[in-house]
Structure 1
Amino acid sequence: MSPSAAAIKTITFPDRDLLEAVGPLPAGIRGAVWDFAAAPDGLDVADVDGVVLPYLNAGAVLGALSRAGNLKFVQAQTTGVDGIREAVGDGVAIASAAGVHAASTAELAVGLVLASLRGIDTAVRDQLEGRWRHERRASLADRRVLLVGVGGIGAEIAKRLLPFEVELTRVGTQARDDDEGHVHGADELVQLAGATDVMIVITPLTDATRGLINAEVLAALPDGALVVNVARGAVVDSDALTAEVVSGRLKCAIDVFDPEPIPADHPLWKAENALITPHVGGDTSAFEPRIVRLLQRQLEALSNGNEPQNLVHPGRIWG
């Protein structure tokens, strides 16, 4: 099936504010609101060709997509698209919001590293008790940083680390060389972990990366090493990480975890060497203007029968 024979004519948005921000829509594209709690606003669900998923809690609405029997295209507002293909089937094309969250997530990754190494989290707790406690802390300068993930966000993190004068080692799916130097393969993680002060995890969640940072990798890290996860919680073995952190051997600074939200009685909440943020990596002031620009580009491409950006699964149209 050619793109022109299967053009996306009707696409829904999760809320009216986003629809209005993206408009006016290109000629030939009709927009509507579908919040997935009820039927699309003023539209038969059978007429829905394309769907923009909500940014937050998208996983909770995936089951509703089965009601759109003629669905051809799903646009995520997140970089990760885990669970979407399973919900809609192989015939539906899926695009991510890769690039939209790169700057914000890279900022948080570096911020978590700095806050943990320099003891800013400890200083905040001390401030609440009016306690002045001077101690020598680790600097990010001269730290051996292992960056697990070399995609768009990984590249942005690497760029932001350069001014801090770190010793950076990058890990991808397979060993290779690129314009920035050598990329090690994931099969080298245990060996590389032994010479790491800070591990930053930013690889996508796939069948191959689920539990990639397992007990063996964590055990190979030196005492006092810091694990930073801004990817997906399930990339890191939660039980193994918790055991290492609660024991005091490792430190963690995490924006994601498995499960989310972290249960209120989970031991990580009380671990002094754990720093936790509630999955806010991409949710900043930079998000809205960047997602609007991406959606405008996507709709323009679809209206012309062209392939959209960030296509992670081609479906029937572009397969």
Structure 2
Amino acid sequence: MRKPALYSPSARPAAPKAGAQDGQAPAEATTGPGVAVPRRRWRAAASRAASSPRVMWSALALLAALLAASVWQGGALAPKSLTQKDIDAAVLRTLTTQNLPSAAARAAEKIRPAVVRVMSYAKDKKGEEQEQGVGTGVVIVDKGIILTNLHVVQGAQIIKLVFADGTESGASVTGVQAQNDLAVLQAHTIPDDLIAATMRSTSDLMPGDGVVAVGFPFGIGPSTSSGVISGFDRAFKSPEGEQEIGNLIQFDAAANPGNSGGPLVTLDGEVVGIVTGILNPTSHRTFVGIGFAVPIESAASAAGLPPF
């Protein structure tokens, strides 16, 4: 079906031929290719139409129909300006129809490239390697400098690392901060494009702020758990240790043996602590809702990094 024109050009009568004199017959007006109508006859028809109410009303109705069609089509083609209501509706529609990752999932995804599996070995009497511990580490400098817990690597003759991209490497202990159960490792093999974690101060954190722990509990992982900061300035003494550690962050994100040395991060994926222990009143080494982390200010100083 042919669309009506947006605009209807009015027909103009042809100009009289050059040389026409008064009293001579006027030139014929054309209404289409090869069709000529004497101007006098056209004026007579127009006069009859004007004198006939039926013809006049029909013409007005046709003109109104053409005007309505023009306005309707012009409105359909004109771009609609967006209002704040339109934007809010589009955002709401996206939120209700799309599965967006949670804040904890985004934080875990951000920190995961810097999370390292740490394995310590000792040799038996036959000289064979025996695994003595599995823990977690976090890359804090892209040259392969890693923070972990001292109890994960203490007494180890061999330390092995597995980076997020699967690269395996040996490692050496380059620094120790025994009072905070911290050790600094240097990887022997550094993956291409190694990503270091972002660290941030704990000074503006509050109880109730969301946190995520990423590590290798019981060697399984990397595993992610989420919770909140429960308190600050806590003290903890592990059943195996003799020294009490103070000034700790208490949190309730699930942690178990193997999480030791792993990062405690904000929902922005920034490291605020190094997981160091869990409290369980029984003899079982399982999580009951209370975990502890060394604040990153203390942990970073173990690697010789400047304070925040």
Band of TM-score, shorter chain: under 0.3
* Higher helix fraction (1 or 2): 1
**Structure ranking higher on relative contact order (CA contacts 8 Å, 6+ apart):** 1
* Higher strand fraction (1 or 2): 2
Which TM-score applies when normalising by structure 2? 0.20
Which TM-score applies when normalising by structure 1? 0.19
